[in-house]
Amino acid sequence: MRKNILAILILTVICSPAFSRDQANNKIFKKSYIIKALKKATFWQLKHPKHRLYDWTNSAFYAGVVAAYETTGSKKMYKALVEMGDANQWKAGPRPFHADDYAICQTYIDVYRIAKDKRMIEPTIEKVDKFMATPYEPYPFQEEIKKGDKTVWWWCDALFMGPPTLVKLGITLNKDKYLKLNDKLFKECYDLLYDKEERLYARDLRYKWGVEGIEPIKEANGKKIFWSRGNGWVMGGLVRILKELPKDYPLRNFYINNYKEMAEKIASIQQPDGLWRASLLDPGSYPGGEGSGSGFYCYALAWGINNGILDKATYLPVVERAWAGLTKLQKKNGMVGWVQPIGADPKKNFSPESWEVYGTGAFLLAGSEVIKLKR
């Protein structure tokens, strides 16, 4: 009788939608499988370019290429990184304050650390120094949201785009002024958009509840809108900050606490297929798992385990489910699908055929951390 019950339980688990045979035999966690998946994703994406190379979209992709290069040692990947930088003349985007136009500089700094060629970071230094010396003027859109607000990074995506560049630059050049600038701008955004009750970030003030004079936009179920990729940007940005900051850095605990609060919340709303929905608190309205937000969460949580910040027993099953879900989004040719198009909230249709360069980048970052897990 006990054997029959055990057999039934095993069959129930195997037939569950959340279970995969790849998980059962650990195939998807093998080093050889992950390296192959990273290479396929990278080279497919390189053959299907999209957007200007200095664009924020490509900054996420090339951040993933750096991680994949470090994981695989592929000379072809390194060559692609240098070619991208040369094509851009190692310059940031044109806007003086917008975090999106500084995002590609993360990769310039990473490549400089390998090549030691100063021309790779000189334009970044020049642009950031000019930014620091120029008084900030709010964008027209920002003024429409809240008159007089001078928060430089007023949208949560900015916390992936700008902070890693400033922190990497400060650490590389051993100059605290860049770290202090990041602390100031990050905390401004945190104070503006972080919901301490939900432990998530509103995308911008249009989605923040309790702001005088602003009627917040709600989900179909009446809950607050917390955009999956937007919060994925934040968690990815936090990881890229924490990777750089010394352990005795005065504000390191601020970043760790923010990261751990978000990690606990994100783990609690993971869906049975291992992925997260485009709208975090209204998964019923978005039945398909979304690749870019899920990729960033897998990356961020795996990094926390690998660096002893997150409890392994608690978070390893979350990461395992997430990676299993992400591998199902990758097609045989390497394309990563189910990626929400460009937007500022969950309200965009997407499908198994939907791809974007930042979705590939998130997948590469995730795989490059999952491969390091000691299971």
82-110 tens-digit pLDDT: 999 999 999 999 999 999 999 999 999 99
Q: What average pLDDT score do residues 179-193 get? A: 97
Separation of first and last alpha carbons in the chain = 33
User: Per-residue pLDDT tens for 152-176?
Assistant: 999 999 999 999 999 999 999 999 9
Per this entry, what is the length of the chain? 375
SS3 of residue 218 by DSSP? strand
SS3 of residue 194 by DSSP? strand
> 195: alpha, beta or left, given left = phi > 0 and alpha = psi -120 to 50?
beta
Cα(30)–Cα(316) distance, rounded to whole angstroms?
Answer: 15
Class of domain 29-370: mainly alpha
* Residue 139 pLDDT level (bands cut at 50, 70, 90): confident
Cα(49)–Cα(43) distance, rounded to whole angstroms?
Answer: 10
Tokens, residue 152: 């430089």
- Give pLDDT, residue 253: 98
Is the model's pLDDT at 296 over the cut of 50? yes
Is the model's pLDDT at 18 over the cut of 60? no
User: Per-residue pLDDT tens for 226-269?
Assistant: 999 999 999 999 999 999 999 999 999 999 999 999 999 999 99
Burial of 339 (0-12, 13-18, 19+ CB in 10 A): buried
Contact 326, 366 (CB under 8 A): yes
Q: Which residues contact 135 (CB under 8 A, 6 or more apart)?
A: none
Select from 228, 233, 234, 226 the least CA-distant residue to 209.
226
Contact 168, 122 (CB under 8 A): no
Q: What average pLDDT score do residues 40-46 get? A: 98
State the sign of the Cα–Cα–Cα–Cα dihedral 322, 325, 331, 335: negative
- Give pLDDT, residue 148: 66
Predicted model pTM = 0.93
SS3 of residue 336 by DSSP? strand
SS3 of residue 368 by DSSP? helix
* Residue 2 pLDDT level (bands cut at 50, 70, 90): very low
> Which residue, chain included where needed, has tokens 């990184």?
81
157: annotated active-site residue? yes
Window from 26-40, 118-132, 145-159, 336-350 with minimum mean pLDDT = 145-159
Contact 263, 304 (CB under 8 A): yes
Contact 34, 324 (CB under 8 A): no
Annotated catalytic residue within 100, 157, 273, 345:
157
**Domain segments of the chain as ranges:** 29-370
Cα(296)–Cα(361) distance, rounded to whole angstroms?
Answer: 9
Is the model's pLDDT at 7 over the cut of 70? no
How many alpha carbons fall within 13 Å on the CB side of residue 203? 20
- Give pLDDT, residue 212: 79
Q: Which residues of 238-266 are buried (b: 16+ CB within 10 A; e: fewer)?
A: bbbbbebbeeebeeeeebbebbbebbebb
Contact 178, 125 (CB under 8 A): no
Is the model's pLDDT at 355 over the cut of 70? yes
Kind plus residue range of the DSSP H or E element containing 200 = strand 200-201
SS3 of residue 231 by DSSP? helix
Is the model's pLDDT at 21 over the cut of 50? no
Tokens, residue 88: 């851009």
